[in-house]
Each structure stands twice: as C-alpha cells, then as structure tokens.
Amino acid sequence: MTAYALVFLGGGLGSVCRYGIAHLLAQYHLTFPLATFVANALSCILLGLLAGLSLRGQVSDTYKFMLMTGFCGGFSTFSTFTNETLSLLQAGHLGLGLLNIGGSLLLCLGCIYIGIRVGM
C-alpha cells in the first residue's frame, strides 16, 4: 500500500473516531468544547507514544504514515479548536475561551511528553 493510501486510511479512521467522541459527548450539552479538547489530548498521547517508539526503531514507516500522519491528523483538529475558541470568546465566555486555549496547550504538551516517555 502506498504512503498516500495509508495516510488516507488512517485519516479517515481518525476522523470517524473524533466524530464518535463528539457524538458521545453531545448528549451533555456542554458549553465548553470537551470533545475537541479530549480528541486533541488523546491524539497527543498517541502521537507521543508512537514518536517514542519510533525513536527506538519500533515503529515502521508504514505505521508512521498511517497512525502518526493519518490517524492523529484526522483525530485531532486545530481548526475546530480555533473555531470553537473564537465562538466562546464572541459569545462572551472569556473564561471558557481562555481555559480552552491554556488548557489545550498545557494538556497537549503534557500528553506528548507522557506519550514519548512511555514509548521510550
């Protein structure tokens, strides 16, 4: 399978998983964009884990293409995060908007670090 096909397959699976999280959490009618927050954090943990394993030579290029570029790229979403943050700020939810910005940054940095450490 070519690298493009692997990225396509992984991206599709990641997008479907992100939709599943959004669908699951939609029942709680939250103002805070928890589904995006969770998807980005989980994607960072997975990407970090794969990066750590890759540093040890335990992840083939095939899985790097499919999982790191494809799945993690489809599962996490900076554009949705940015749009949801702007919507919070425009709706007057300054605290939630700032929480989303700061919390996402800190959580995802921590998740990448944890993933790399576990993978090593």
Q: Return the pLDDT at 12.
A: 98
Total-model pTM: 0.80
40: CB partners within 8 A, 6+ apart: 76, 77, 78, 81, 104, 107, 108
C-alpha to C-alpha distance for 63 and 2, rounded to whole angstroms: 12
pLDDT digits (tens, 9 = 90+) for 74-87: 999 787 788 899 99
Does residue 36 have a pLDDT over 90? yes
Tokens representing 106? 């800190």
pLDDT of residue 77: 77
Q: What is the pLDDT of residues 41-77, one digit of tens each?
A: 999 999 999 999 998 999 998 988 899 999 999 999 7
Could you give the percent of the chain with pLDDT greater than 70? 100
User: Is the C-alpha dihedral spanning 94, 98, 99, 100 positive or negative?
Assistant: positive
85-113 pLDDT, tens digit per residue, is 999 999 999 999 999 999 999 999 999 99
* CA gap 60, 38 in Å, rounded: 27
What are the residue boundaries of the structural domains of the chain, listed by start?
3-119
Q: What whole-number distance in Å separates Cα of residue 84 and Cα of residue 24?
A: 18
